[in-house]
Structure 1
Amino acid sequence: MTKEKLTLEDEIVELRRQVDELSAAVAAIRSPQHGKKTIKGDNVFVDSSTVLVSGENATICLGDHTKVWRGGEWTGPVTVGKRVFVNQGSYIRPLVTIEDDVSLGPFVRLITDTHEIGHKTRRTGTPKKDAIRIGQGSWIGAGATVMGGVNVGKRSIVAVGAVVNRDVPDNVLVAGVPARVVRQIKDFDEFAELIDPFDPKSASKGADCSDSRYNNAEG
């Protein structure tokens, strides 16, 4: 009985060893491609399926407590602050800065790439990249696209599916294609409220309806 018990225990130990070896092999196959110049702060999580392309002059820096979920593709240089949450399927191009406490919904695209307008034989001329900055505390909704050269203000919200091709002020909600300011965000002691900046009645709630940023009629 003792011999059988020891044999069984030995088999269990051997099986566990084999499982550990297989797990390590699978982890190696699935290991994220994080490049040679990816810098991570404390308690950073990047899903193994997310590709971070970095190298000389193309550093990707992830601040403390940042979480990046599955299926993303980033190309440096990219700078990310602390406590940033990035949902699945993110597509982030070079020259992007994401400040602290930002949240990106699923399938958000931050695209700095564009071209000069080319001659009639080919309209895509010389390629270039225009930097993007996402301000502290902002929220970019699912499927939204932010184009090169745009600064999204602090604590603002970009609605689901919006295409942002111009700067976004602080504390507003933008929506649409192209994105426009549709609400101002008013903070109170323990909650926030969306205010229509075009409604005269909201003046009593603190919306500055005279601000030219809210009355830009161009596309």
Structure 2
Amino acid sequence: MKNIITKLYNKVRIIILRLKYDIGKKYTLSGVVFWDCDQNSIKIGNSVNILRNTEICSKSNFPVIIGSNVFVNQRCLIRPNVIIENNVSIGPNVSLMSDSHEIGSSEKRAGKQSFKQIKIGEGVWIGASSTILGGIEIGNGAVIAAGSVVTKSCESNCLYAGVPAKKITILR
């Protein structure tokens, strides 16, 4: 009985999500949390798998756009103003942190919030527990090693690793 209720809940949830957002065909959104998302602020392509406990937040003027054939492992965080192109693989515990705050007065140091776009190019692979900061573009075919913190844009077809991430080699 519990299995039937779970399946029914998931079907209803997907219908509601498809009414609110632009979601393609052949997708898995298993236990994904959509929070503080505006209507029509998320676009998800075809053949996308996003695993449980991944959180997605978007705004109408700062959408989240996910291409086709994308895999996002569990416990990832995707903030507003993120573009993930086609054929991207993202490991577990990855944070795409597009938002930041200005440094405020001594009464409240976390000042005005801002969102700088993150663009993940086609065919990129981001390893587990990496963090990508706002204002970053990762070129097509790049690889970000596990545990890296990306603070600057990355060239296409290169391997980046470390804190902060640095170019290790050109990939062929």
TM-score bracket for this pair, using the shorter chain length? 0.7 to 0.9
Alignment of 1:88-107 (within 5 A): 88-107=74-93
Is 1:118 the counterpart of 2:104? The answer is: yes
C-alpha contact (below 8 Å) 1:38/1:52 kept by paired residues: no
Q: Which runs of 5+ in 2 are unaligned?
A: none
Aligned to 2:155: 169
Is 1:137 the counterpart of 2:123? The answer is: yes
Alignment of 1:60-209 (within 5 A): 60-76=42-58, 77-186=63-172
Corresponding residue SS for 1:43: coil
Question: How many Å separate the matches in 2 of 1:90 and 1:34?
Answer: 19
Q: Which of these residues, 14, 26, 31, is aligned with residue 6 of structure 2?
A: 26
* CA drift at 1:34: 3.9
Q: Which of these residues, 11, 16, 23, is aligned with residue 40 of structure 1?
A: 23
Give CA-to-partner distance per residue, 1:45-85, whole Å, 9 cap, x none: 110x11123323x5211111111111111012210001001
Which structure has the greater CA radius of gyration? 1
Name whichever structure is richer in helix by fraction. 1
Question: How many Å separate the matches in 2 of 1:179 and 1:63?
Answer: 29
Higher relative contact order (CA 8 A, sep 6+): 2
Aligned alpha-carbon RMSD (Å) = 1.9
Q: How does the TM-score come out when normalised to structure 2?
A: 0.87
Q: Which runs of 5+ in 1 are unaligned?
A: 1-18, 187-219
Equivalent residue letter for 1:26:
T
Structure 1 range deviating more: 29-38 or 114-123: 29-38
Question: How many Å separate the matches in 2 of 1:146 and 1:80?
Answer: 16
* CA drift at 1:35: 8.0
Identical positions, percent? 35
